[in-house]
């Protein structure tokens, strides 16, 4: 995980500073392990043959009453563009909908984060609108697109056209 969190390019759209020391990553991973399943949970994405950690997938901001949560994902840059996130996030979506019985999953994605937008759209997420200054990255504010997936990919109701850069 430290290779992910220490990579400035990969951390461009993450809302925590780039980790310069291994201890920063160790602290974060300990927090991830000590999860509150009704609110958040992280999984390591591991290579099937070597068991090497290649990244993470997570849900967070769980809202039990409304049966919704937000999701996050991170793949080590050295292993990106090989379908890792597609496979890992798909498995987590199954868990969230089937095991947790959630109804709606959200993803907040920077308009410039093309790989993340492509991933979300490939998995059936639909853009619902632009949230201005929604994420603080270092000393600056970033807009984010709200993407959502309704259980089983069903999006009841009319599709609202949105203007997104
Ligand atoms: C977003 C991220 C998890 C995607 O991981 P990945 O394992 O490379 O994704 P996949 O290989 O499963 O590809 C998913 C889609 O993204 C596209 N994609 C992947 N890397 C891309 C790139 N560098 N440029 C453009 N598109 C890209 C793929 O083409 C694929 O769509 P397709 O199959 O229809 O072609 C990865 O880029 C990442 O960890 N980024 C840094 C952390 C981050 O920004 N997380 C998301 C915060 S919202």
Sequence spans of domains, the chain: 2-153
Angle (CA) 36-39-44 rounded to 5° is: 65
Q: How far is the CA of 85 from the centre of ligand 1 (A)?
A: 7
Q: How far is the CA of 79 from the centre of ligand 1 (A)?
A: 10
If you count them, how many residues does the chain have? Answer: 165
> Is residue 13 in contact with ligand 1, taking CB distance under 6 Å?
yes
> Is residue 5 in contact with ligand 1, taking CB distance under 6 Å?
no
Give the tens place of pLDDT for each residue, 27-59.
Answer: 999 999 888 888 899 999 999 999 999 999 999
The minimum-distance atom of ligand 1 relative to the CA of 82 is 11
Rounded to an integer, what distance in angstroms lies between the CA atom of residue 120 and that of residue 107? Answer: 8
pLDDT at residue 161 greater than cutoff 50: no
Instruction: Provide the CA 117 distance to its chain's centre, in angstroms.
Output: 11
Q: Which residue from 56, 118, 143 has its CB within 8 A of the most atoms of ligand 1, so it is best to mutate?
A: 118
pLDDT at residue 22 greater than cutoff 80: yes
Rounded to an integer, what distance in angstroms lies between the CA atom of residue 151 and that of residue 118? Answer: 19
Where is pLDDT greater, at 80 or 158?
80
Pick among 1.10.10.410, 3.40.50.2300, 3.40.50.150, 3.40.630.30: CATH of 2-153? 3.40.630.30
The minimum-distance atom of ligand 1 relative to the CA of 13 is 44
Rounded to an integer, what distance in angstroms lies between the CA atom of residue 50 and that of residue 69? Answer: 31
Where is pLDDT greater, at 108 or 159?
108
Instruction: Provide the CA 149 distance to its chain's centre, in angstroms.
Output: 13
pLDDT above 70 coverage of the chain, percent: 92
Q: Whose CA is nearest to atom 42 of ligand 1?
A: 74
The minimum-distance atom of ligand 1 relative to the CA of 84 is 7
Q: How far is the CA of 58 from the centre of ligand 1 (A)?
A: 16
Q: How confident is the model at residue 162 (pLDDT cuts 50, 70, 90)?
A: very low
Give yes or no for a contact between 24 and 5, defined as CB atoms under 8 angstroms apart. Answer: yes
Give the tens place of pLDDT for each residue, 9-18.
Answer: 989 888 888 9
Q: How confident is the model at residue 133 (pLDDT cuts 50, 70, 90)?
A: very high
Q: What is the mean pLDDT of residues 144-159?
A: 75
Retrieve residue 66's tokens: 């409304």
């Amino acid at each position: 995980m430290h290779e992910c969190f220490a990579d400035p390019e990969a951390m461009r759209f993450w809302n925590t500073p780039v980790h310069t020391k291994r201890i920063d990553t160790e602290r974060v991973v300990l927090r991830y392990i000590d999860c509150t399943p009704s609110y958040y949970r992280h999984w390591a994405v591991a290579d099937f043959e070597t068991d090497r950690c290649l990244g993470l997938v997570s849900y967070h901001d769980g809202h039990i009453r409304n049966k919704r949560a937000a999701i996050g994902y991170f793949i080590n840059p050295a292993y990106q563009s090989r379908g890792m996130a597609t496979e890992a996030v798909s498995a987590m979506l199954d868990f969230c909908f089937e095991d947790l019985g959630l109804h709606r999953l959200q993803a907040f994605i920077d308009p410039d984060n093309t790989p993340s937008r492509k991933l979300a759209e490939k998995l059936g997420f639909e853009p619902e609108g632009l949230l201005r200054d929604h994420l603080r990255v270092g000393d600056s504010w970033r807009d984010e697109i709200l993407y959502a997936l309704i259980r089983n990919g069903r999006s009841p109701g009319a599709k609202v056209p949105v203007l997104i850069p």
